[in-house]
Chain A
Amino acid sequence: MNEATLFALCAVLLVGAGLYGLIVNPHPLRKILAFNVVGSGVFLLLGAIARRGAGAGFGGDPVPQALLITGIVVAFSATALAVALLLRLHDAAGSVTLASEVPPKVEPDAGSR
């Protein structure tokens, strides 16, 4: 197996693992983390496809590689926005739950300040 196929399959598994975490983890910060795992899996898949397109003296197809750089920077900005939203929710509501009815507070948890 060459490195492109190897990392492509690794990327596919990363997407699967991240997707599971995105659904199952109740804490929004953990959802952001899981979403980033999905995102990096997609990037890695694109990177493997770029590697397959090596030619003309380049180690990989430069067009998807350039898109990856753009993608990584945009993914960071989206993560920063999500984290800012979450922190604001925490400041305003004292909790960060996404449940429709607010669950009872659990100790040790002073909640709002």
Chain B
Amino acid sequence: MADFLLAASGFVLLMVAVGLARILRGPGDADRMMAAQLLGTGGIAALLLLGAATGEDAVVDVALTLALLAAFASIAFVKAARTASRDEAATGNEK
């Protein structure tokens, strides 16, 4: 069972890692943010599977912290994007 959970953890990690190609390709900031978000969820899943495989209970607390702060970076991103677009409108610049 432990081997199966470990393999599943590795698979999920591999999947979201492939998804990280979106950070490289973009094209928009939102796409990059989404790749980071997918890695966040996948990281939580991989962490839980890893914790179950190794029997380390405290890993659940790490996942809980990550889950609680999962939206934090995205919210900061949206706030920053809004400020930036207001600046652009003011100076007449185009992205």
Contact = CB atoms under 8 A, between A and B. Distances in A.
A93 B62 CA distance: 42
A103 B94 CA distance: 23
A113 interface: yes
B9 to A, nearest CB: 15
A108 B93 contact: yes
A59 B12 CA distance: 25
Contacts of B90: 113
Interface of A: 108, 110, 113
B91 interface: yes
A46 to B, nearest CB: 19
A101 to B, nearest CB: 25
Nearest to A108: B93
A110 B87 CA distance: 10
Contacts of A113: 87, 90-91
B82 to A, nearest CB: 17
Interface in B64-95: 87, 90-94
Contacts of A108: 93-94
Contacts of A110: 91-93
A113 B88 CA distance: 11
A113 B92 CA distance: 12
A1 B92 CA distance: 57
A36 B64 CA distance: 25
Given A108-B93, A110-B93, 4 more contacts: A110-B91, A110-B92, A113-B87, A113-B90
Nearest to A111: B91
6 contacts: A108-B93, A110-B91, A110-B93, A113-B87, A113-B90, A113-B91
B68 to A, nearest CB: 18
Nearest to A107: B93
